[in-house]
Chains A and B, each alone.
Chain A
Amino acid sequence: MTAVADKPNNARNTSGSVMNPTTVERVAGRSDEMLLNLGPQHPATHGVLRVLMGVDGERVTKAIPHIGYLHRNHEKLEEVRTYPMCIPYTDRMDYVSGMQNELPLCLAVEEMLGIEVPERAKYVRTILFELSRIASHMVWIGTYMLDLGAITPFLYAFRDREMILDIIEETAGARLLPNYFTYGGVRRDHHPRMMQDILEFLTWFERKLPEYEALTIDAPVFQARTVGVGVLDPQLALNHGVTGPNLRGSGIGWDLRRDDPYDAYPHLDFEVCVEYGCDAYSRSRARFREFRESIKIIRQAVNQCPKGGAYLPKLPRLKPVAGMERYRAVEISRGHLGVHIVADGSEKPWRVKHRSPSFCTLQALADMAVGSKFSDAIAILGSIDIVLGEIDR
Chain B
Amino acid sequence: MSQPSSAPIAPAKIWHIPLLESDKIENLIAGLKARAETLFDTIQITVALEDYRTLCERLFKAGFDFPQSMSGTDFEWGLGVALQLQQLESKRKVTVRTYCTYQNAHVPTVSDLWGGVDWHEREAYDLVGIIFDGHEDSINGHPRRILLEDHWTIHPLQKRYNTRGYLIHGWTEKPFPTPAPWEEGFQSFSSAPVAVAHVAPPAPKIVPVVAVGARLLDPKAAPDGLGSHASPDPAEAPAPKAEAAPVVSSDPPKKVAKKWVPKGEAAPIVTEAAPEAASSEPVPVVSSEPAPVVSSPEVVAVSSPEAAPEEKPRNPKIKRWEPR
State the CA gap A191–B219 with chains docked (Å): 61
Partner of A258, one of B7, B15, B71, B144: B15
The reply to whether A308 and B71 form a contact with Cβ atoms under 8 Å apart is: no
Closest to A195 in B: B1
Residues of the B chain whose Cβ atoms lie less than 8 Å from the Cβ of A302: 1-2
Residues of the B chain whose Cβ atoms lie less than 8 Å from the Cβ of A267: 9-12
Partner of B4, one of A307, A340, A363: A307
B68-92 vs A, Cβ < 8 Å mask (1 yes, 0 no): 1101011000000010100010010
State the CA gap A20–B65 with chains docked (Å): 34
State the CA gap A238–B86 with chains docked (Å): 11
Residues of the A chain whose Cβ atoms lie less than 8 Å from the Cβ of B9: 267, 304, 306
State the CA gap A268–B11 with chains docked (Å): 9
Of residues 307 through 358 on chain A, the ones whose CB sits less than 8 Å from some CB of chain B are 307-308, 322-323, 325-327, 329, 336, 338, 340, 342, 344-345, 350-351, 353, 355
A360 on interface, CB distance cutoff 8 Å: yes
Residues of the B chain whose Cβ atoms lie less than 8 Å from the Cβ of A392: 147
A236 on interface, CB distance cutoff 8 Å: yes
Residues of the A chain whose Cβ atoms lie less than 8 Å from the Cβ of B68: 241, 327, 329, 336, 338, 355
Contacts A338-B69, A340-B69, A363-B115 given; does A254 touch B187 at CB 8 Å = no
Residues of the B chain whose Cβ atoms lie less than 8 Å from the Cβ of A327: 42, 68-69, 82, 84, 93, 95
Residues of the A chain whose Cβ atoms lie less than 8 Å from the Cβ of B118: 363
Residues of the A chain whose Cβ atoms lie less than 8 Å from the Cβ of B45: none
Closest to B74 in A: A351
The reply to whether B12 and A240 form a contact with Cβ atoms under 8 Å apart is: no
Contacts A195-B2, A239-B114 given; does A323 touch B65 at CB 8 Å = no
The reply to whether A239 and B148 form a contact with Cβ atoms under 8 Å apart is: no
State the CA gap A261–B15 with chains docked (Å): 9
The reply to whether B88 and A303 form a contact with Cβ atoms under 8 Å apart is: no
B279 on interface, CB distance cutoff 8 Å: no
Partner of A67, one of B116, B147, B157: B147
Residues of the B chain whose Cβ atoms lie less than 8 Å from the Cβ of A67: 146-147
Closest to A306 in B: B5
Of residues 263 through 299 on chain A, the ones whose CB sits less than 8 Å from some CB of chain B are 266-269
Q: Nearest-CB distance from B79 to chain A (Å)?
A: 11
Contacts A241-B68, A267-B10 given; does A344 touch B1 at CB 8 Å = no
Contacts A22-B144, A355-B69 given; does A308 touch B5 at CB 8 Å = yes
The reply to whether B66 and A238 form a contact with Cβ atoms under 8 Å apart is: yes
The reply to whether A266 and B66 form a contact with Cβ atoms under 8 Å apart is: no
Q: Nearest-CB distance from B96 to chain A (Å)?
A: 12
Partner of B148, one of A71, A238, A252, A329: A71
Partner of A241, one of B10, B88, B114, B188: B114
B98 on interface, CB distance cutoff 8 Å: no
Identify the stretch in A45-53, A73-81, A89-97, A173-181 within 8 Å (CB) of chain B at 4 or more residues: A73-81
Partner of A75, one of B14, B65, B127: B127
The reply to whether B157 and A322 form a contact with Cβ atoms under 8 Å apart is: no
B149 on interface, CB distance cutoff 8 Å: yes
B92-120 vs A, Cβ < 8 Å mask (1 yes, 0 no): 01010000000000000000001111111
The reply to whether A323 and B114 form a contact with Cβ atoms under 8 Å apart is: no
State the CA gap A79–B171 with chains docked (Å): 16
Q: Nearest-CB distance from A250 to chain B (Å)?
A: 13
State the CA gap A152–B292 with chains docked (Å): 92
Residues of the A chain whose Cβ atoms lie less than 8 Å from the Cβ of B282: none
Partner of B71, one of A111, A254, A351: A351
Residues of the B chain whose Cβ atoms lie less than 8 Å from the Cβ of A75: 127, 157
Residues of the B chain whose Cβ atoms lie less than 8 Å from the Cβ of A336: 68
The reply to whether B7 and A340 form a contact with Cβ atoms under 8 Å apart is: no
State the CA gap A22–B140 with chains docked (Å): 11
Q: Nearest-CB distance from A65 to chain B (Å)?
A: 9
Partner of A259, one of B91, B119, B149, B187: B91
B189 on interface, CB distance cutoff 8 Å: yes
A43 on interface, CB distance cutoff 8 Å: no
Q: Nearest-CB distance from A356 to chain B (Å)?
A: 10
State the CA gap A73–B118 with chains docked (Å): 19
Q: Nearest-CB distance from B154 to chain A (Å)?
A: 12
State the CA gap A239–B66 with chains docked (Å): 6
Q: Nearest-CB distance from A167 to chain B (Å)?
A: 15
Closest to B60 in A: A239
Closest to B114 in A: A239
Interface centre among B66, B156, B157 (most CB of A within 10 A): B66
State the CA gap A330–B12 with chains docked (Å): 18
The reply to whether B127 and A241 form a contact with Cβ atoms under 8 Å apart is: no
Q: Nearest-CB distance from A203 to chain B (Å)?
A: 14
Q: Nearest-CB distance from A303 to chain B (Å)?
A: 6
The reply to whether A68 and B157 form a contact with Cβ atoms under 8 Å apart is: no
Interface set of A (CB-CB < 8 Å, partner B): 20, 22, 67-68, 71, 73, 75-77, 79-80, 111, 195-196, 236, 238-242, 252, 254, 258-261, 266-269, 302-308, 322-323, 325-327, 329, 336, 338, 340, 342, 344-345, 350-351, 353, 355, 359-360, 362-364, 392-393
9 examples of A-B residue contacts, CB within 8 angstroms: A73-B127, A252-B88, A254-B88, A267-B10, A304-B10, A338-B69, A351-B73, A353-B71, A360-B116
Other than A306-B2, A351-B157, A360-B119, give 11 A-B pairs with Cβ distance below 8 A.
A241-B115, A260-B91, A303-B7, A304-B3, A327-B42, A327-B93, A327-B95, A353-B69, A355-B84, A363-B119, A393-B147
